[in-house]
Chains A and B, each alone.
Chain A
Amino acid sequence: MAHQPIKPRTYVLIYVALLLLTATTVYVARYMHLEKAEVAVALGIASVKTLLVGIFFMHLIHSRPLTWLIMVVGLLFLFALISITLSDYWTRGWMPVRALSPACLWG
């Protein structure tokens, strides 16, 4: 698609943002002890980093709607995979499988 290429300066700024977000996620995990919110925060930061990489490094900002469609459909299928699988496991009483004796699997 005809467009002005993204400038190197933009790439460097995005790179600095990615490094800062990496430092943030390490700091939060090590020193903030968020308990249950820990997973949500870590995955939230990872998602923001993914958006930065996708939009700028992978040029989604200049991509056709068709490219966006493929990406969004891919994410929808990922959502279906995760949500349907986990809802099955979490609602059918399959989860605490510790009733299974570890001795029969170990040693």
Chain B
Amino acid sequence: LSSAATHPADEHALVAHHFESLEQQRDAGALGMWLFLASEVLFFGGIFTAYAMLRYRDPAGFAAGTDRLNATIGGINTAVLLTSSLTMALAVWASQSKNGKLLRLFLALTLTFGASFLGIKAYEWYHEYEEGLVPGRVKLTDPEGKTGTGFGYKPDGTPSEAVEKLTLPQRRSMELFFVFYFIITGLHALHMVIGLAVLGIQLALALRSDFGVRDYGPIEISGLYWHFVDVVWIFVFPLLYLLRT
């Protein structure tokens, strides 16, 4: 990990023995990430397919769920994530331009915006927990049926106003909407956490050595993953927060 490796003459030191050149090594790495992302498309695609199917079955109940989400907060969070994608793209550019200072700055900014996204998401989840929108079976604790646990009941056991006035079938499909909501946003957040961990390690390496300056391959590959997670959210946002049909 010596800084001497930045010199073109030492390029061969960065190339693994089964590659002919640094360029071929980078291409192979990026191609591997694209293959992984193609499989991720199907991972999220399967969930979206099930969502489309069940939403088609009962649009009104799903729309009732969408109404409980705050599209303004969701929109702001979309902007935060798009901003993190911009700073990630600029981090890759800084890496390609061999500018270590800007690389560290843009990696730090990407981490900041990514963490902000998760913070806003956590605030939303907490709000939904308070509203009694977390799916689960109802267990009534008093014979009058006034208090319970699970979907439609707040943490203190009182019925949620958002759910109370709905008919039983409407409640069912609204609960189904929130099953999808928590699975989709949860899996997306998991991908974000993994992305933040990778970028955090890369920033730590870039602070200690010429990592990312001697070879932009690793930064470019994390960038591909980060932008993909952004693309997933580009579909999650309208599907969960906006559509009412």
A1-15 contact mask (Cβ, 8 Å, vs B): 1 or 0: 110011110011011
Instruction: Please tell me if B78 contacts chain A, counting CB pairs below 8 Å.
Output: yes
Least distance between A89 CB and chain B CB atoms (Å): 5
Query: B231 to A11, Cβ gap below 8 A?
Result: no
Least distance between A39 CB and chain B CB atoms (Å): 6
Give the residue name and chain of the B residue nearest to A98 (CB): B169
Least distance between A107 CB and chain B CB atoms (Å): 5
Query: Which single member of A36, A42, A54, A58 contacts B238 (CB below 8 Å)?
Result: A42
Query: Which single member of A6, A95, A97 contacts B93 (CB below 8 Å)?
Result: A6
Instruction: Please tell me if B244 contacts chain A, counting CB pairs below 8 Å.
Output: yes
Query: A67 to B30, Cβ gap below 8 A?
Result: yes
Complex Cα–Cα for A77 and B75 (A): 30
Give the residue name and chain of the B residue nearest to A11 (CB): B89
Query: A70 to B93, Cβ gap below 8 A?
Result: no
Instruction: Please tell me if B79 contacts chain A, counting CB pairs below 8 Å.
Output: yes
Complex Cα–Cα for A64 and B89 (A): 19
Q: Which of B38, B39, B46 counts the most chain A CB atoms within 10 A?
A: B38
Complex Cα–Cα for A6 and B79 (A): 22
Q: Which of A19, A57, A102 counts the most chain B CB atoms within 10 A?
A: A57
Query: Which single member of B41, B171, B220 contacts A106 (CB below 8 Å)?
Result: B171
Query: A57 to B57, Cβ gap below 8 A?
Result: no
A78-95 contact mask (Cβ, 8 Å, vs B): 1 or 0: 100110011001100001
Give the residue name and chain of the A residue nearest to B236 (CB): A46
B144-170 contact mask (Cβ, 8 Å, vs A): 1 or 0: 000000000000000000000000110
Given contacts A46-B235, A107-B138, 15 further A-B contacts (CB under 8 A): A19-B79, A22-B78, A26-B75, A39-B245, A45-B238, A50-B234, A50-B235, A53-B234, A58-B224, A71-B34, A74-B37, A95-B56, A97-B57, A105-B172, A106-B138
- 9 A-B residue pairs with CB within 8 Å: A5-B96, A22-B75, A25-B237, A46-B237, A57-B86, A64-B31, A81-B45, A98-B57, A106-B168
